[in-house]
């Protein structure tokens, strides 16, 4: 019986994906064939259809997420929403390459286990005192979160915290508060460190891009750190 349930679940997911594979382009096609509602421009109506198409493919993952993100490059010129030059410009925004650098750093750290070495070395210096161990975990997470996405940092640090928590439980089964505090230190540390630099969390870069495009206010990496590091 269990085997039957397990085999049925992938089949349901497959049908769900096929539904959205067809539904997304169909909605986009309808926005191209019919007139928009009153008060909405034709381009806006088609853009809504394209947004639905992308959202349906992202949710169902019927097509790889990065490939779906490239749909505007192809569909917008074909549907006469916008010229390819204006559509392609955001893909080559300097902040996109800044994020790319942060992602490459996080991949390199994970590949060579640098985050583990930094965390474990800091924990050794913290000694056996629980409060110092929690502080050490928070400081390491905050430091790493300065140079990569705070979400990625939290995911990378979580296995280390769980391993430490399991070791503490073996020696002191009744000490449940330490594990909770250690996990919270990762969450708070990642959020705090994410404030310090432009690449610490996506909203930082989005705000810098908005100020640059709308108000011609340029904020460099070092300029952000002058305010972000003391604030964090």
**Ordered per-residue pLDDT tens for the chain, 232 residues:** 444 544 455 666 677 788 989 999 999 999 999 999 999 999 999 999 999 999 999 999 999 999 999 999 999 999 999 999 999 988 887 778 877 887 788 788 878 888 888 888 888 888 888 889 999 999 999 999 999 888 889 988 998 888 888 888 887 777 778 889 999 999 999 999 999 999 898 889 889 888 988 899 998 899 999 999 999 8
pLDDT at 206: 86
Give the angle 145-146-151 at the CA atoms, nearest 5°.
30
DSSP 155-183: HHHHHHHHHHHHHHHHH-TT--HHHHHHH
Contact yes or no for 124/173 (Cβ under 8 A) = no
* C-alpha–C-alpha distance, residues 63 and 65, integer Å: 6
Q: How far is CA 32 from the centre of its chain?
A: 32
227 membership: H or E segment, kind and range: helix 221-231
pLDDT at 8: 53
pTM of the model: 0.73
pLDDT at 12: 67
First to last CA, the chain: 54
pLDDT at 5: 46
Q: Buried b / exposed e across 17-27, counting CB within 10 Å, b at 16+?
A: beebeeebbeb
pLDDT at 102: 78
Q: Six-digit token pair at 21?
A: 């594979």
pLDDT at 169: 81
Helix (H, G, I), strand (E, B) or coil at 146: coil
């Amino acid at each position: 019986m269990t085997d039957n349930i397990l085999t049925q679940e992938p089949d349901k997911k497959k049908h769900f994906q096929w539904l959205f594979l067809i539904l997304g382009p169909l909605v986009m096609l309808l926005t191209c064939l019919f007139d928009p509602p009153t008060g909405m421009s034709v381009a806006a109506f088609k853009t809504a259809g394209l947004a639905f198409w992308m959202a349906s493919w992202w949710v169902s993952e019927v097509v790889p997420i990065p490939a779906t993100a490239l749909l505007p490059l192809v569909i917008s010129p074909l549907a006469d929403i916008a010229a390819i030059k204006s559509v392609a410009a955001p893909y080559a925004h300097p902040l996109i390459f800044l994020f790319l650098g942060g992602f490459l750093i996080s991949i390199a750290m994970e590949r060579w286990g640098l985050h583990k070495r930094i965390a474990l070395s800091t924990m050794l210096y913290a000694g056996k005192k629980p409060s110092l161990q929690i502080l050490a975990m928070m400081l390491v997470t905050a430091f790493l979160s300065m140079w990569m996405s705070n979400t990625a940092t939290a995911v990378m640090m979580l296995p280390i915290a769980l391993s430490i928590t399991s070791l503490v439980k073996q020696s002191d089964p009744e000490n449940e508060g330490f594990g909770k505090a250690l996990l919270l230190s990762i969450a708070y540390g990642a959020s705090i460190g994410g404030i310090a630099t432009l690449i610490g969390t996506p909203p930082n870069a989005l705000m810098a891009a908005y100020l640059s495009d709308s108000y011609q206010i340029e904020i460099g990496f070092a300029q952000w750190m002058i305010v972000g590091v003391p604030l964090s």
